[in-house]
């Protein structure tokens, strides 16, 4: 199995989840600027051009971060990386995966786009993103992890995405519960190993 990624972007969460699920995989780095890998043209592998993707040993392709995390969790249900199919808890987890993929990940990606000037980005951060962070802050004030007291796949995604605000000058020290969550996550061997494999500095 191969996970395609680019350092510091949204391939970190499946890399964490794969480790939590005890699944072996190889990493393939994608150069965003040229859409190439050591294998050649990335668009031949994923015409969407985005990472992350998983290529299974049988050649099947799985795209979309929130879906990849569900696939990983379902390989080893006994590890409880997601609640069981059909339970109310499962839908709660899917709500969170969707919030993280849309409001947070795509929300944050706006801040990295060259199409908007700094003033527009600042208005957007004030008018939209900070409200989303406040919602997460409130939740994590009452819960160690997204689904309560135990780690699950949405935590990997939330951790992944919440690494980005400081990179665009958003001060996260005003969200103490988020800060505690980030440090809690960084105690996990899966997170430390995933960061090291991408060449990210230890925290
Ligand atoms: N809908 C995709 C979007 C993934 C996405 O936006 N990936 C970014 C990195 S976090 C990307 O591949 N960007 C490519 C580029 O900027 O050229 C998903 O949720 O997995």
Per-residue pLDDT of the chain (203 residues; tens, 9 = 90+): 999 999 999 999 999 999 999 999 999 999 999 999 999 999 999 999 999 999 999 999 999 999 999 999 999 999 999 999 999 999 999 999 999 999 999 999 999 999 999 999 999 999 999 999 999 999 999 999 999 999 999 999 999 999 999 999 999 999 999 999 999 999 999 999 999 999 999 88
Return the structure tokens found at 113: 């786009």
Domains of the chain: 2-79+191-197 (3.40.30.10), 88-188 (1.20.1050.10)
If one residue of 6, 7, 10, 98 were mutated to test the ligand 1 pocket, choosing by the most ligand atoms within 8 A of its CB, it would be: 10
CA distance 22 to 81: 11
Establish whether residue 163 lines the binding site of ligand 1, counting it when its CB lies within 6 angstroms of any ligand atom: no
User: H or E element: which one contains 91?
Assistant: helix 88-99
CA distance 75 to 77: 6
């Amino acid at each position: 199995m191969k996970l395609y990624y680019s350092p510091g972007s949204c391939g970190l969460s499946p890399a964490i989840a794969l480790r939590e699920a005890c699944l072996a995989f190889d990493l393939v780095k994608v150069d965003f600027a040229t859409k190439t890998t050591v294998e050649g043209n990335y668009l031949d592998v994923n015409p969407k051009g985005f990472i992350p993707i998983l290529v299974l040993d049988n050649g099947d392709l799985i795209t979309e971060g929130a879906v990849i995390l569900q696939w990983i969790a379902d390989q080893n249900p006994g590890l409880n990386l997601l609640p069981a199919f059909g339970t109310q808890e499962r839908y709660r987890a899917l709500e969170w995966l969707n919030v993280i993929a849309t409001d947070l990940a795509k929300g944050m990606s706006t801040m990295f786009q060259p199409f908007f000037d700094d003033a527009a980005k600042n208005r957007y951060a004030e008018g939209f993103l900070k409200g989303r962070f406040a919602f997460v802050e409130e939740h994590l004030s009452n819960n160690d992890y997204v689904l309560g007291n135990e780690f699950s796949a949405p935590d990997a995604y939330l951790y992944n995405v919440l690494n980005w605000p400081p990179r665009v000058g958003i001060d996260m020290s005003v969200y103490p519960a988020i800060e505690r969550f980030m440090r809690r996550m960084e105690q996990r061997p899966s997170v430390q190993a995933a960061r090291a494999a991408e060449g990210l500095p230890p925290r």
